[in-house]
Structure 1
Amino acid sequence: MSVNTGAEDADDIQNMSVNPENSELSTKLEALYRSINRRNFVHPDPLEFLYRYESLRDREIVGIVAASLAYGRVTQILNSVGKILSVMGPSPATFLEKADTGTLDHRFRGFKHRFAGGAHIRDLLMGVKAMIRHDGSLRQSFMKHFNASDPSVAPALDGFCRELCAMGDPGHLVPLPGRGSACKRINLFLRWMVRTDDVDPGGWAGIPPSSLIVPLDVHMHRIALHLGLTQRKSCSMATALEVTAGFARYAPADPVRYDFALTRLGIRDDLSITDFGL
């Protein structure tokens, strides 16, 4: 395997928020970040759809759609997200402004992504439409529930997700934080929208990266167990918060800093955790 292990870019140095604590794991995580957290390692990932949209009003809609469908085989995810965005055209925000329930029901009839059908997509998008119409943007809707004094975005997730469900039943596309879900996909969406580096496009001001939660799924849970960041056996919100706290020991201002690079190790055949001595 050949990866770039050269000096960090100037903007990477400027944004670095790593704890000066000298530890072997910290050194290895930083080496992984510098090598893998790059645009050329993104494919295959639903995140790549966000790069197509310069307007934040479009990008946040694309982000919520892409993150909501981010489960199952990655090829199926990319295919499903691509189908939805092809229907929504060059500006998903403009499409959604003009669409009503009947339009969405017709345009997504027959859509299928594992357990999700066209009705789930319709109700998700109607929830998004209602939030934007009421608050001006998804960011503004989230900020209604966010309190900067909270240790993480966890308390804000419940209100935001409930609003997404207000216009129907998007099913499992929207998590239920009150039931202890790790909320992997909504936390993935927040990582994309809040952080700004070579991979995450950002755009949502007012939410510090320090408040983000690691998007915990089975793969990341396995990595966290391997790194000794948790001993919990379930992929719950409690586990996600514990894993986030573990990463915060090394990057307190940006605990999800290593999420993208670590998850590449289970997605790409040309990368292995042993390549970085982890």
Structure 2
Amino acid sequence: MIENVKAFLDAKVAQYNQPGFIENDPISIPHLFTRKQDIEIMGFWAATLSWGQRVTIIKKCKELITLMDGAPYDFIINHQEPDLKRLLSFKHRTFNDIDTLYFIAFFRYHYEHFESLEDAFLPPNPLKGEQEANQKAPPLGDWGAGLEAFRSYFFSLPDFPHRTKKHVSSPSQKSTCKRLNMFLRWMVRQDNCGVDFGIWNRIKPADLICPLDLHVDRVARKLLLITRKQTDWQTALELTARLREFDPADPVKYDFALFGLGIEERWGVQF
């Protein structure tokens, strides 16, 4: 049974983990850039805004890029106070101008102390810009601690808007942390297929947790990869543990298969 499921999912990974997947997915947004910091910033933003129709998500991300003069990192580092006024018009669902301005403030603070956003996810928590050498990811299976530390760091600036906290999830909230895990997949996974970026190397693909939304959850249950009744952080861990049986070094590659099967299901394709 396991061998049959693995072979089925491997075939679906090969089908969807290819450049044709990019155009209609939010990952197309960071693919507009070559500079590492631009990829990180817009990758994080695209993942954060990823709810609703993908066409709308992509459109809103491109609007945000335009508001930052087509150069997110340069705008964040070098903007003056009057430049922020144009961003007061930006909104996507419940994400509004207050959230936008705080994201910019956080990114500016972080990149004044660190070269890469990867440092924000590595313990110890880099509060107050205290960069420490040889930072490593949390032990395998304990990635929840890394996400908790990131959220604490993200909201460490004085007078952060409390409303913005709903846009950055954490395991302690019993969230699957789908958007954060998706962003980490984009940044960390390394292969030659051209979809994920693989620009981070201190977090390993083996450490990642599979992004889990309602569509992936439904497909995974059909394939008997999930037995837990709830859909929460522990469910994401359960799914990832099963996927590690198929590929211990790169379990999250199967996100392509599960997500792709969810798309096929919406098209009426049975499996």
State TM-score, norm by structure 1: 0.84
Give the conservation status (yes or no) of the 8 Å contact 1:131–1:163. no
Matching residue of 2:131 = none
List structure 1 runs of 4+ shifted beyond 4 angstroms: 268-273
* 1:8-54 Cα distance to aligned partner (Å, 9 max, x none): xxxxxxxxxxxxx9711111111111222111122311101111211
What's the offset of the Cα at 1:109? 1.0
- 1:203 is the counterpart of 2:199: yes
Q: Of 104, 108, 111, which aligns to 1:125? A: 104
Name which of structure 1's ranges 144-153 and 219-228 shifts more when overlaid on structure 2: 144-153
What's the offset of the Cα at 1:134? 2.3
Q: Of 17, 24, 39, which aligns to 1:59? A: 39
* 1:143-178 Cα distance to aligned partner (Å, 9 max, x none): 234535343422111111222223323242211332
Alpha-carbon separation, structure 1, partners of 2:47 and 2:145:
20
* 1:70-118 Cα distance to aligned partner (Å, 9 max, x none): 11121221111111111123321111001356643x1221222111111
- 1:35 is the counterpart of 2:29: no
Matching residue of 2:114 = 135
Matching residue of 1:110 = 89
- 1:158 is the counterpart of 2:152: no
Matching residue of 2:237 = 241
- 1:180 is the counterpart of 2:178: no
Alpha-carbon separation, structure 2, partners of 1:186 and 1:137:
16
Instruction: State how many pairs are aligned.
Output: 254
Amino acid at match of 1:229: L
Alpha-carbon separation, structure 2, partners of 1:120 and 1:60:
18
Provide the secondary structure at the position in 1 that maps to 2:253.
coil
Q: Of 176, 181, 193, which aligns to 2:187? A: 193
* CA distance 1:37–1:181, shift in 2 (3 Å): same
Alpha-carbon separation, structure 2, partners of 1:216 and 1:22:
21
Give the conservation status (yes or no) of the 8 Å contact 1:124–1:165. no
Provide the secondary structure at the position in 2 that maps to 1:26.
helix
Alpha-carbon separation, structure 1, partners of 2:83 and 2:264:
38
Alignment of 1:17-96 (within 5 A): 23-96=3-76
Alpha-carbon separation, structure 1, partners of 2:81 and 2:109:
11
* CA distance 1:232–1:149, shift in 2 (3 Å): closer
Alpha-carbon separation, structure 2, partners of 1:39 and 1:183:
25
* CA distance 1:116–1:268, shift in 2 (3 Å): farther
Q: Pairwise CA RMSD of aligned residues? A: 2.2
Matching residue of 1:3 = none
* CA distance 1:235–1:22, shift in 2 (3 Å): closer
What's the offset of the Cα at 1:196? 2.1
What's the offset of the Cα at 1:142? 1.8
Alpha-carbon separation, structure 2, partners of 1:225 and 1:138:
34
- 1:227 is the counterpart of 2:223: yes
Alpha-carbon separation, structure 2, partners of 1:177 and 1:253:
23
Give the conservation status (yes or no) of the 8 Å contact 1:108–1:122. yes
Alpha-carbon separation, structure 1, partners of 2:264 and 2:223:
20
* CA distance 1:35–1:121, shift in 2 (3 Å): same
State TM-score, norm by structure 2: 0.86
Alpha-carbon separation, structure 2, partners of 1:143 and 1:91:
26
Give the conservation status (yes or no) of the 8 Å contact 1:108–1:119. no
